[in-house]
């Protein structure tokens, strides 16, 4: 089968590789759609920290935002999965440790991540092997674009839940990339008054097109009581700004990651009695994201700028992407 392979920093090519076989407890999925994520770009450029710590290595087959149809099941797997449209959890814990047993498999010490770490092949390929325990069924009403947005949607939904806001309260989202816009969409579906702050004019325009009248730059941001702030950007200055902007005794949620360390004065947290929450992975939000897509309460499809073929993916990773305001590029590996 064809798969995208990262062979070194800045090097990627489509190769003919052996197709996956469903081992015990696994299924094989024919991939319908896969998203290109900032993590994939970091793995391509060589800037991903996992490459320095030994958690990831080349050659590497990326892709962790995906959907498809089950075409084979391994030993011990319910045959009812055959033919089902599915997506899946990126985070694969050992299933045995205290963290996994407590429902925190996404921070398991032996965590493997599909398309990211510990040699687990990803979904930028025609087929993918996945543990059946990681699968989530997709209703037929959830099309491939939404199916491949389930993983980032799960992340965004977890951030909204962590903000702990009631309907009508005011949320400020820092960042107008895929995660920032998804946070805004899920928060609005919960009845929250959503505002966004960004520096990318295209992202701010898209936010306005999505119906968010409160789309601001730092210079134009109004002085309003922000009942929660979600940092969904990649600037090392924004974590401290989030604490500065949020109302005392409220919450800041950190889901964005900067390329360099951020500085945050914990005295500001203490003196404002602010709760800071970090979000890693969409595991606990996948079911909710899929349900929101299926019900129509969240339509994230306008976030997809284009769908390209597997052969064009290396160009996308290198920054040569179709010109569009929308932040997300999808790949159809069947092309």
- Contact in structure between 144 and 67 (CB atoms under 8 Å): yes
CA 133, 138, 139 angle in degrees (round to 5)?
140
pLDDT of residue 325: 85
For 228, phi then psi, to 5°, come to -160, 155
Give me the pLDDT at residue 7, please: 98
Residue 286 backbone phi and psi in degrees, to 5: -60, -50
Closest CA to 149 of 334, 326, 335: 326
Asked if 179 and 255 count as a contact pair (C-beta separation under 8 A), the reply is yes
Which tens digit of pLDDT belongs to each residue from 199-253? 988 899 999 999 999 999 999 999 999 999 999 999 999 999 999 999 999 999 9
Structure tokens at 93: 């814990």
Which among 79, 60, 62 is positioned nearest to 22, based on CA atoms? 79
Mean pLDDT of 274-295: 98
Q: What are phi and psi of 202, to 5 degrees?
A: -65, -40
Q: List the domains of the chain with CATH numbers.
A: 2-149+300-332 (3.90.180.10), 156-278 (3.40.50.720)
3 state SS of 52: helix
Q: Per-residue pLDDT for 323 more than 90?
A: no
Cα–Cα distance, 296 to 69 (Å, whole number): 22
> Are 153 and 292 a contacting pair, CB within 8 Å?
yes
pTM: 0.97
Cβ(135)–Cβ(27) below 8 Å: yes
Residues in the chain: 335
């Amino acid at each position: 089968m064809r798969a995208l392979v990262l062979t070194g920093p800045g090097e990627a090519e489509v190769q003919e590789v052996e197709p996956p076989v469903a081992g015990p407890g696994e299924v094989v999925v024919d991939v319908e759609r896969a998203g290109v994520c900032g993590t994939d770009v970091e793995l391509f450029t060589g800037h991903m920290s996992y490459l320095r710590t030994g958690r990831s290595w080349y050659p590497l087959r990326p892709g962790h935002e995906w959907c498809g149809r089950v075409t084979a099941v391994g030993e011990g797997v319910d045959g009812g999965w055959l033919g089902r449209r599915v997506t899946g959890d990126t985070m694969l814990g050992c299933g045995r440790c205290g963290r996994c047993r407590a429902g925190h498999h996404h921070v398991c010490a032996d965590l493997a991540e599909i398309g990211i770490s510990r040699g687990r092949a990803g979904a930028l390929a025609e087929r993918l092997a996945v543990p059946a325990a990681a699968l989530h069924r997709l209703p037929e009403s959830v099309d491939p674009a939404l199916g491949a947005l389930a993983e980032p949607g799960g992340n965004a939904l977890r951030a909204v839940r962590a903000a702990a806001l009631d309907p009508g309260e005011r949320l400020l989202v820092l960042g107008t990339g895929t995660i920032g816009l998804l946070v805004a969409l899920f928060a609005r579906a919960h009845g929250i008054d959503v505002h966004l702050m960004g520096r990318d004019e295209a992202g701010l325009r898209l936010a306005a097109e999505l119906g968010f009248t409160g789309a601001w730059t730092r210079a134009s941001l109004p002085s309003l009581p922000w009942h929660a702030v979600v940092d969904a950007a990649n600037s090392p200055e924004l974590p401290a700004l989030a604490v500065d902007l949020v109302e005392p005794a409220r919450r800041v949620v950190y889901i964005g990651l900067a390329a360099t360390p951020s500085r945050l004065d914990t005295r500001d947290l203490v003196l404002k009695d602010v709760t800071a929450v970090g979000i890693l992975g969409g595991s606990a939000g996948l079911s909710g994201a899929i349900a929101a897509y299926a019900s129509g309460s969240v339509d994230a499809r306008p976030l997809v700028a284009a769908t390209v073929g597997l052969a064009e993916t290396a160009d996308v990773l290198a920054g040569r992407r179709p010109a569009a305001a929308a932040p997300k590029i999808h790949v159809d590996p069947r092309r």
